[in-house]
Chains A and B, each alone.
Chain A
């Protein structure tokens, strides 16, 4: 299909490959930015050194970013040594490198201005799909991919087909992007978008503030997606100006053409949707919250690259303002970045949460990565704002994790059992749909 309508995925990959391509084509494309962290970075460094030998050159050091987020701060000698490998590489080759206090790779990449609409971005982390919330093509790769791109600046791709999720109308109070994405994954399954782009559109998506669009893109990988994209608009531009300090002019053609060729289109009416919870032990086990409401939980975890932004944490604080969490429940809050942490500090959100009984930790992946800072013991039940609830993901193989939105997490921490946020007074959760920091709404 030459000169015909194209998806945003086909447009971005055509530009970066320097020729017109459509779904199914294999290309080698230039990478605008790339990131590795303390788990995947050392392996990528091995690969880079292996392919370039002693006189290795990083093709474009300005495009290379390292973060230390999974074991942050280091929880053992081996992790600390891995941190040093990354630090030394960044120093030697002049790449960007962020420290243990700075936060999760995807949040840091966005805040620091490495992500623009139309960019092609890879990360040696599966949640690199997050960048699609800003109209970029972001995808997760392995360490070998990353290490070779350090050397060459480009990488092979198969141009993916696109599945579009279209949501029209208005979302009810208490229903957010997290509920949407859990529903989508529940409907298509854990492998329903494997090798494909999940594209999100429709009036309800256009109404979402950027912090919520990032949630949709972040979890595209939980249905196997290669990318998850929301077409960029003026709200994207405003967000990038205020949050990332970027001056971006929007290419009016950077979006899927109306008659683009989709492999499938799933259509939803926003008003039909209820808060969702994914039951253990797979994100595809999404159900309306009334099916699991009342389930006792030992721990509530708020954070991660999915829902660890300021607006997410503030949503929990709004629920808990002047209250105490249930005495049988622990609440662990981990901001996604230092900037998020500082905003929580400056706005009083941190104080509210600590007074309510929360454990507030330094920025990073927290227990989602499964190593430390709140892992679960045998038979522990957790409700998390994270993206995965695989067996043993946050600790013991005998523990169970439910996934939900920050508003649901706040309500659940308050009562010690899975609680529908719509059962609270509305002024305890309705601000969440509105962004304050980003000014994008």
Chain B
């Protein structure tokens, strides 16, 4: 596993540089991303050691900073545990590309500044493919297949939240304005 382990407010690796796609199927719930027994930790790097522990044990050992998680429908269903997106940030994942997301996971990722992209064609990306994202244009490039897929743009409110660096940064600014 990478030892760069960026913390949420330290930012995630750039999404426009190619990285390996770790492909998962539909309905990957938060219990599978971060099994319950590892929730005693709140450290991204420590949580990263157990990401997909039971589902895909090789993930934490082989993931490299700048890699992407690619999934099918309804990624992140179930629990509200923020440990799930935090473990991916800890592992150095640049972004999660999925056909659709469960609500709380999507919200948590936005709040933490982990890019999440809804891409209806994500199912065409093969495991191990080299991918990158053009966030401004809302495009996913599959360099191995030589294909480009469109992603759904984030609503304006969420884009502003991401641009400000996530909910913590947004709240700091809000508190500062209130006390002025």
Identify which of B8, B54, B102, B103 gathers the most chain A CB atoms within 10 Å of its CB.
Answer: B103
Q: How far is the CB of B56 from chain A (nearest CB, A)?
A: 12
Report chain B residues within 8 Å CB of A145.
107-108, 111, 167
C-alpha gap A195/B39 in the complex (Å)? 25
Q: Does A337 contact B (CB under 8 A)?
A: no
Report chain B residues within 8 Å CB of A370.
31, 35-37
Q: Which of B32-79 contact A (CB under 8 A)?
A: 32, 35-37, 39-42, 54-55, 73-74, 77-79
8 A-B contacts (beta carbon < 8 Å): A26-B157, A78-B41, A142-B85, A148-B171, A152-B171, A191-B73, A194-B103, A397-B54
* Contact (Cβ within 8 A) B31 A391: yes
Q: How far is the CB of A129 from chain B (nearest CB, A)?
A: 11
Q: How far is the CB of B121 from chain A (nearest CB, A)?
A: 18
Of all chain B residues, the one with the shortest Cβ separation from A143 is B82
Of all chain B residues, the one with the shortest Cβ separation from A372 is B37
C-alpha gap A76/B36 in the complex (Å)? 14
Report chain A residues within 8 Å CB of B135.
none
Q: Which of A71, A158, A190, A392 contacts B31 (CB 8 A)?
A: A392
C-alpha gap A221/B79 in the complex (Å)? 9
Q: Does B141 contact A (CB under 8 A)?
A: no
Q: How far is the CB of A322 from chain B (nearest CB, A)?
A: 37
Q: How far is the CB of B46 from chain A (nearest CB, A)?
A: 10
* Contact (Cβ within 8 A) B40 A47: no
Report chain B residues within 8 Å CB of A397.
54
* Contact (Cβ within 8 A) A224 B74: yes
Residues of chain B whose beta carbon lies under 8 Å from any beta carbon of chain A: 8-9, 27, 29, 31-32, 35-37, 39-42, 54-55, 73-74, 77-83, 85-86, 100, 102-104, 107-108, 111-112, 155, 157, 161, 166-168, 170-172, 174-175
Report chain B residues within 8 Å CB of A79.
40
Beyond A142-B85, A145-B108, 4 additional pairs, beta carbon < 8 A: A39-B83, A151-B175, A158-B155, A392-B35
Given contacts A142-B111, A144-B112, contact A194 B81 (CB under 8 A): no
Given contacts A42-B42, A151-B175, contact A390 B78 (CB under 8 A): yes
A114-133 interface bits toward B, Cβ cutoff 8 Å, 1 = contact, 0 = none: 00000000011110100000
- Closest 3 A/B residue pairs (Cβ): A370-B36, A78-B40, A142-B108
Report chain A residues within 8 Å CB of B108.
142, 144-145
Q: Does A393 contact B (CB under 8 A)?
A: yes
* Contact (Cβ within 8 A) B78 A51: no
Q: How many residues of chain A have a CB within 8 Å of chain B?
A: 49
C-alpha gap A26/B29 in the complex (Å)? 26
Given contacts A39-B39, A126-B79, contact A144 B167 (CB under 8 A): yes
Given contacts A191-B102, A194-B102, A391-B32, contact A82 B40 (CB under 8 A): yes
C-alpha gap A36/B63 in the complex (Å)? 31
Report chain B residues within 8 Å CB of A148.
167-168, 170-171
Given contacts A194-B74, A194-B100, contact A390 B32 (CB under 8 A): yes
Report chain B residues within 8 Å CB of A126.
78-80, 104
Of all chain A residues, the one with the shortest Cβ separation from B86 is A43
* Contact (Cβ within 8 A) A144 B168: yes
C-alpha gap A371/B40 in the complex (Å)? 10
* Contact (Cβ within 8 A) B103 A46: no
Q: Does A140 contact B (CB under 8 A)?
A: yes
Report chain B residues within 8 Å CB of A50.
9, 168
Given contacts A79-B40, A148-B168, A392-B54, contact A52 B175 (CB under 8 A): yes
Residues of chain A whose beta carbon lies under 8 Å from any beta carbon of chain B: 26, 39-40, 42-43, 46-47, 50-52, 70-71, 76, 78-79, 82, 123-126, 128, 140-145, 148, 151-152, 156, 158, 190-191, 194-195, 221, 224, 226, 282, 369-371, 388, 390-393, 397
Given contacts A26-B155, A141-B107, A224-B102, contact A40 B171 (CB under 8 A): no
Report chain B residues within 8 Å CB of A71.
40
* Contact (Cβ within 8 A) A393 B42: no
Of all chain B residues, the one with the shortest Cβ separation from A25 is B157
Given contacts A224-B103, A370-B35, A391-B32, contact A144 B80 (CB under 8 A): no
* Contact (Cβ within 8 A) A141 B80: yes
Of all chain B residues, the one with the shortest Cβ separation from A42 is B42
* Contact (Cβ within 8 A) A140 B80: yes
Given contacts A142-B82, A156-B161, contact A43 B42 (CB under 8 A): yes
* Contact (Cβ within 8 A) A191 B157: no
C-alpha gap A57/B44 in the complex (Å)? 26
Q: How far is the CB of B168 from chain A (nearest CB, A)?
A: 5
Report chain A residues within 8 Å CB of B104.
126, 140-142, 221
Given contacts A152-B175, A393-B31, contact A226 B111 (CB under 8 A): no
Q: How far is the CB of A82 from chain B (nearest CB, A)?
A: 6
Given contacts A140-B104, A156-B157, A224-B77, contact A43 B82 (CB under 8 A): yes
C-alpha gap A51/B157 in the complex (Å)? 20
C-alpha gap A234/B29 in the complex (Å)? 38
Q: How far is the CB of A132 from chain B (nearest CB, A)?
A: 15
* Contact (Cβ within 8 A) B80 A124: yes
* Contact (Cβ within 8 A) B40 A40: no
Q: Which of A144, A158, A282 contacts B82 (CB 8 A)?
A: A144
Given contacts A142-B80, A142-B111, A392-B54, contact A190 B27 (CB under 8 A): yes
C-alpha gap A221/B103 in the complex (Å)? 9
